[in-house]
Structure 1
Amino acid sequence: MPRLTLSRTALNGIVAATLAALAAAPANAQEVRPREPVITVTGEGQSDVAPDMAIIELGVVKDGKTAREALDANNKAMAEVMKALKDAGIAERDLQTSGFTISPQYHFPQNENGENKPPVLVGFQVANMLSLRVRDLSKLGTIMDQTVTLGVNQSGGIRFTNDKPEAAISQARKKAVEDAIAKAKELTVAAGIGLGRVLEMSETSYRPQPVPMMRSAMAKDFAAEAVPVAAGETSYSVNVTVTFALQN
């Protein structure tokens, strides 16, 4: 088997390179700078604004001996409801079917001993849910009252919001940053150190939340026979996380 031989010059070169690497390692380690001291705080901001739009979930539920009978009854009632909504000024773009189901209905009889017998089909139920946006809140109570009269017998809830919430969110965002700066200053003053520049900043979340507060201007707009509705205010919350450098 052939033997690998190195010249004296090559061997000296390898040894020299190895010694140079070992000598440079401690020097490089000494050049690593310590991490800059920082402080990270979370600021919260909130902006309350009166809503200008309501989103309602309304439904018509009808029963029949057959699916056809239940569907025909439901279609008739829902057609009347949608016509009334359009007559009240609700635009096509603000009406959307949000759910539709046909369900068999069973009766579960028992014998004299209290034991369950096989279920008996007794009919069908059709449910048609409609989501609508009401942009004129002064009509909200009247619209809800009229739809019930025309056949709406199920509700999925009501939510007040704003068509263009950007201004409220922007205000909440500014308050959140101001809150973060105030917290950082308070902490550094208490610790006897200086507050440096902003290193990082991020927005973590914002969410609309209803504030139950009746506006007198809306209360007087509702007719006496309409459904009383309190729109209150919508609260937009923003959280920001800010990292500052610290000064000695």
Structure 2
Amino acid sequence: MRYTAAVLAALFCICGAVVVVTALTPTPTVDTATADHLIRTSAVGEVVSSPDRAEIQIGVETENVDVQAAQSQNAERMTNVTNAMKALGIPDDHLTTTGYTVTPVYDTGPTPVPLSLGQRKPTTYRVSNTLLVRVDDVARAGVVIDTAAASGANQINSIAFLFSEQKGATLRAQALAQAVNQTRTDAGTVASALGVRLLDAREVQVDSGATPIVYDSRTGTAADTAIPSTPIQPGTLKVTASVQVAWAYA
């Protein structure tokens, strides 16, 4: 009998432990939002602001019957342009050579000798050198153009206005927040109409960008257009962010 009583006592303790453990185990919650319970919405955020950076393509073109003379003349003039840019306070890493070509120029008379005959020789050689100048203060773009022309540049190929990395990132964040808020508002409207409760976002797809303003003036030359205080109007740029969100509901 003592043995039986001990066994019963042990069993009672074990059962009690089981009861206690079971009581402390939380009741699992069932998430009713599944892949079939999603509201998909999309929106585009848009922020407009003035650009804070300009990129100017400045060119020097020379031509001579002697190719080495054409190259030497070009090098001298481009060196003057580069030094003038540095004198304006533009750092070296804002000056980039983007193109350099040496092109033979052939006679374009009424009856030129065909190149296939091997008898046609160039009359002159044209050398072109292009320098990309990055200006972090767009208000100085006109001064840069005037200075380049005065120091030997004879081509202003294009001017592009854009955002710096810091400003672009700030505006992109604003556009994204605007787009996400709109998708949430739209999803809430749909959920209310359906009589369901909107939960959290389950899927997100983002696409964003900004298009720079580019003014192309390759048909002209700096000598033709560069006058004191050349007026430059940068206008405004638009940053957009497109967002697609799948919102769960229950």
> Under a length normalisation based on structure 1, what TM-score does the superposition of the two structures give?
0.72
Maintained 8 Å contact 1:56/1:131: yes
SS in 1 for 2:123: strand
SS in 1 for 2:106: strand
Q: Name the aligned partner's letter for residue 162 of structure 2.
A: T
Structure 1: distance between partners of 2:214 and 2:44: 17
SS in 2 for 1:43: strand
Maintained 8 Å contact 1:51/1:162: yes
SS in 1 for 2:210: strand
Number of residue pairs the alignment of both structures matches: 200
Maintained 8 Å contact 1:66/1:124: yes
Q: Name the aligned partner's letter for residue 40 of structure 1.
A: R
SS in 2 for 1:227: coil
> Which residue is equivalent to 1:183?
186
Residues 69, 132 of structure 1: alpha-carbon distance in 2 compared, 3 angstrom cutoff: same
Structure 2: distance between partners of 1:191 and 1:47: 32
Show CA shifts across 1:154-187 (max 9, x none): 2331122232122111111111111212232344
Q: Name the aligned partner's letter for residue 171 of structure 2.
A: A
Structure 2: distance between partners of 1:181 and 1:61: 56
The question of 1:236 aligning with 2:239 is answered yes
Structure 1: distance between partners of 2:128 and 2:189: 58
Q: CA shift at 1:246, angstroms?
A: 3.6
Structure 2: distance between partners of 1:54 and 1:211: 10
Given the alignment, which residue of 171, 174, 181 partners 2:174?
A: 171
> Which residue is equivalent to 1:203?
206
Structure 2: distance between partners of 1:136 and 1:95: 15
Q: CA shift at 1:210, angstroms?
A: 4.3
Maintained 8 Å contact 2:175/2:239: yes
SS in 2 for 1:225: coil
Gaps of 5+ in 1: 1-33, 213-223
Task: Summarize the alignment of residues 53-72 of structure 1 with structure 2, pairs less than 5 Å apart.
Answer: 53-72=53-72
Q: Name the aligned partner's letter for residue 134 of structure 1.
A: V
Structure 2: distance between partners of 1:152 and 1:84: 11
Structure 1: distance between partners of 2:91 and 2:174: 31
SS in 2 for 1:107: coil
Task: Summarize the alignment of residues 53-92 of structure 1 with structure 2, pairs less than 5 Å apart.
Answer: 53-92=53-92
> Which residue is equivalent to 2:132?
131
Q: CA shift at 1:191, angstroms?
A: 5.2
Q: CA shift at 1:40, angstroms?
A: 1.6
Q: Name the aligned partner's letter for residue 226 of structure 1.
A: S
> Which residue is equivalent to 1:3?
none
The question of 1:117 aligning with 2:113 is answered yes
Q: Name the aligned partner's letter for residue 238 of structure 1.
A: A
> Under a length normalisation based on structure 2, what TM-score does the superposition of the two structures give?
0.71
Show CA shifts across 1:112-138 (max 9, x none): xxxx53344111111101011112333
Q: CA shift at 1:52, angstroms?
A: 2.0
Residues 190, 67 of structure 1: alpha-carbon distance in 2 compared, 3 angstrom cutoff: farther
Maintained 8 Å contact 1:60/1:127: yes
Residues 209, 123 of structure 1: alpha-carbon distance in 2 compared, 3 angstrom cutoff: closer
- Give me the CA root mean square deviation: 2.6
Q: CA shift at 1:211, angstroms?
A: 11
Q: Name the aligned partner's letter for residue 232 of structure 2.
A: V
Maintained 8 Å contact 2:55/2:132: yes
> Which residue is equivalent to 1:151?
152
Structure 2: distance between partners of 1:55 and 1:192: 54
Gaps of 5+ in 2: 1-33, 115-119, 216-226
Residues 56, 66 of structure 1: alpha-carbon distance in 2 compared, 3 angstrom cutoff: same
